Chain A
Amino acid sequence: MVQQIQVTGQKDTRSGFGDGIFELGKSNPNVVALTADLAGSLKLNAFIKSFPDRFIQCGIAEANMMGIAAGLTIGGKIPFTTTFANFSTGRVYDQIRQSIAYSGKNVKICASHAGLTLGEDGATHQILEDIGMMKMLPGMTVIVPCDYNQTKAATLAVAEHQGPVYLRFGRPVWPIFTNPDEKFVIGKAQYFNEGTDVSIFACGHMVWTAIEATRELEKEGIKVDLLNIHTIKPLDTPAVLQSLQKTGCAVTVEEHNVIGGLGDSIAHAASKNLPVPIEMIGTNDTFGESGKPTDLLIKYGLDKEHIIAAVKKVLKRKK
């Protein structure tokens, strides 16, 4: 079935967010958008033009933005904070922890430019630890959609969800391959291929890379069970275990440090329920650097070839 997946266009996932929140502006009068001087980068222009009264410019003051978002929920608003992933998480961890997560506030933390694919700006901006930080917070939902369509659908879905959400997306133009009409279900893993030799669990931009790797592996006769784990928390543990039951080994793929990310969540679920060999593709306890996104992904081992190698390695370990 991976052979049937078609690329229908090329767009950045952040545009999926921008188009999603514009839809929400029309359908939900309680939705409010906040930014810390990055409205253009987060594609808020259409929302701002149509709903100026529900747009709040906070200036370059992310801590204050998080607190204001928490306060807005008290009056029944659904605030969406927008800035880069680094400034959405590490910079404001304590504000999120106390004023949002511990206080149980219905804030949607929308984070663009996550990971290595931010590119030329380099390591100061390429956060690779955000999934870990956010998933450790009690009550926080963590979502990493894989393409433009899915990011748009996820944006609509999080507005319906009661409670704090971390929604992570990115900067680069990337293949669109999911169905634009598919409703996003929080916490429900998405199948892209069924197979019995090895499970691949991927999230975000890496889902497409995993699809490409799967196509090559299938040509070699290796049957891959490929799942998009777009919701890191709550993890779809039944789907993960069902896949591992079939395959008996796994490769995880993410644009994030392997410490604290998707791979860590999968390994946690497996070790408690069904211990199997697992290889992890991600950055390995390192910062990124400046460069073109695709060059960086290759240098840091987040490309098709590395996934294929990891699959072959884990298959050997299984035997």
Chain B
Amino acid sequence: MAELTEIASQIRRDIVRMVHGCQSGHPGGSLGCADFFTALYFKVMKHNPEFQMDGAGEDLFFLSNGHISPVFYSALARAGYFNISELATFRKINSRLQGHPTTHEHLPGIRVASGSLGQGMSVAIGAALAKKLNNDDRLVYSLHGDGELDEGQNWEAAMFAAHHKVDNLISTVDWNGQQIDGTTKEVMSLGNIRAKFEAFGWKTIETDGNDMDKLLASLDEAKSLSGKGKPVGIMMHTVMGKGVDFMENNHNWHGVAPNDEQLKSALSQLKETLGDY
């Protein structure tokens, strides 16, 4: 367990350094989901860094809220999909690490472009249906922002997944209560997200996405619930900006880069465990 939290700490360092390096990007949600990505890519998923688009025989992951690309890129690089030195190119010209993830530059680990919100669950469902058609019993994971659930396509997808019994899908909502213009309560009340997914016919779990023990237990539980006729939803409470005190729970850090002084302060709070890129 110590090892996983150490990986998460390094990923958080990568995130703030990447965003600082180009003075743009989204640190808040990325930091909040560092533990989730660590759990998926270093423990939960069966996956191969020798990337094949079809992912036959592997678990697949889709990031719907593509703006948290820093955490995705760091996790992929640290898991061996590409060299960590490439993280320094994030959001810079001629980089494979575009502001939002894309297949267009053939970055290993990315299976669809995302960034325009609300599309990832549909794509994940399609990939899950293909696995069923191919008699491939591995699972498909997806991640969605809570603010992203304002987009109606999510609910089209949620309805479809229940109706068609897409039970090899585990979709997680990053429930940090923040979006660009303020809290989700202020901007567009989501109500009880878990109850909404239950009402749509999903099996749901609620967890703490910044507690590695609880998160792993929930992901295990989600796996055990798969294959039983219902899609599985994980309502994951996280703290936006987790790990950097001045960013925590502050929607102003949704899409703002730290300056030199703030970077120094942030890095002083995050242990370098695997070596910076």
Contact = CB atoms under 8 A, between A and B. Distances in A.
A66 B122 CA distance: 8
A98 B153 contact: no
B128 interface: yes
B49 interface: no
Given A68-B122, A103-B103, A103-B104, A98 B128 contact: no
B107 to A, nearest CB: 12
A190 to B, nearest CB: 33
Nearest to A67: B122
B116 A94 contact: yes
A105 B126 CA distance: 12
Contacts, number: 120
Contact of B134 (A71, A76, A104): A76
Nearest to B100: A98
B93 interface: no
A188 B124 CA distance: 36
A61 interface: yes
A59 B155 CA distance: 12
Interface stretch (B53-61, B79-87, B182-190): B53-61
Contacts of B157: 64, 67-68
A54 interface: yes
Residue from B115, B118, B130 having most chain A Cβ neighbours under 10 A: B130
B112 A54 contact: no
A75 B127 contact: yes
A266 to B, nearest CB: 30
A154 B129 CA distance: 27
Nearest to A97: B116
Nearest to A72: B126
B127 A103 contact: no
A74 B112 CA distance: 9
A102 interface: yes
A75 B62 CA distance: 14
B126 A74 contact: yes
Contact of B127 (A56, A58, A72): A72
B133 A32 contact: yes
A37 B123 CA distance: 19
Nearest to B62: A71
B102 A64 contact: no
19 contacts: A53-B133, A56-B164, A58-B160, A67-B119, A67-B121, A67-B125, A71-B62, A71-B112, A71-B130, A72-B129, A73-B126, A75-B54, A75-B130, A76-B130, A94-B119, A95-B122, A99-B113, A102-B103, A102-B104
Task: Identify the 8 closest CB pairs spanning chains A and B, nearest first.
Answer: A71-B126, A67-B122, A75-B130, A61-B156, A64-B156, A68-B126, A71-B127, A71-B123
